[in-house]
Structure formats: structure tokens, C-alpha cells
Amino acid sequence: MEYMVYIPILSIMVLCIIQISSIGALEKQLVEQRRQLDRLSRLIENEMLTDVDTASFLSAETMDRVLQLKREGNIIQAVHDVKKETGLSLKEAKEYVDGL
């Protein structure tokens, strides 16, 4: 008869263990979903940035400097300045400077 008292306690312990393992699995899924969202966010940011006129992200001072550098043949510094101020990739910044 005394062992009947332990059955509800054991049942509760088993349920707690199941819940804990479920929580662990959900936490792993959450971490993976956050990674996927971060990757998607970076992709969307890059696409949005390349779709928008890059000149709107450049200050007038930087734009003047980039144009001057390009006229002087210093393409590398011009690309560097565009990349630094806009956050574009190296390829995107180079394409932008080439298109000026």
C-alpha cells in the first residue's frame, strides 16, 4: 500500500524528464532558426542595398572624393572609399565605381 504513494511521484518525475528533453530539442531548433534568419537578413540587406541607388548612401564629400580619385586613376582607393561608406561588397563597390 505504501508503494502506491510513489506511483504519482514517479509519474511526475517521468513527465518532467520528458519536458526537459523537449525543451532541449526546441532550444536547438531555435538556435538553428536564428542562424537561418541571420543568413536571410544578410542576403536581403545585400539585395536591398544593391537595388537602391548607391549614391544616396554616399555623402557629397565622399562622392566628390571618389570622382576625383577615379579621374586620377586611383580606382583602388575610390573602391575602398565606396565600400567603407556603403557597406557594399568589394565586387559591388568596384562595379559602382566603374559605372561612374
The residue that leads in pLDDT, 65 or 42, is 65
All residues at 6 or more sequence positions from 49 whose CB lies less than 8 Å from its CB, including other chains: 57, 86, 87, 88, 92
Tell me, what's the pLDDT at 68?
Answer: 93
1 shares its domain with 42: yes
Residue span of the structural domain in which 26 resides? 1-51
63 shares its domain with 37: no
pTM: 0.47
List the grid coordinates of 10: 514517479
All residues at 6 or more sequence positions from 78 whose CB lies less than 8 Å from its CB, including other chains: 65, 66, 69, 70, 97
Number of domains forming the structure of the chain:
2
Question: Residues 24-60: pLDDT tens digits?
Answer: 888 888 888 888 877 777 767 665 555 455 556 777 8
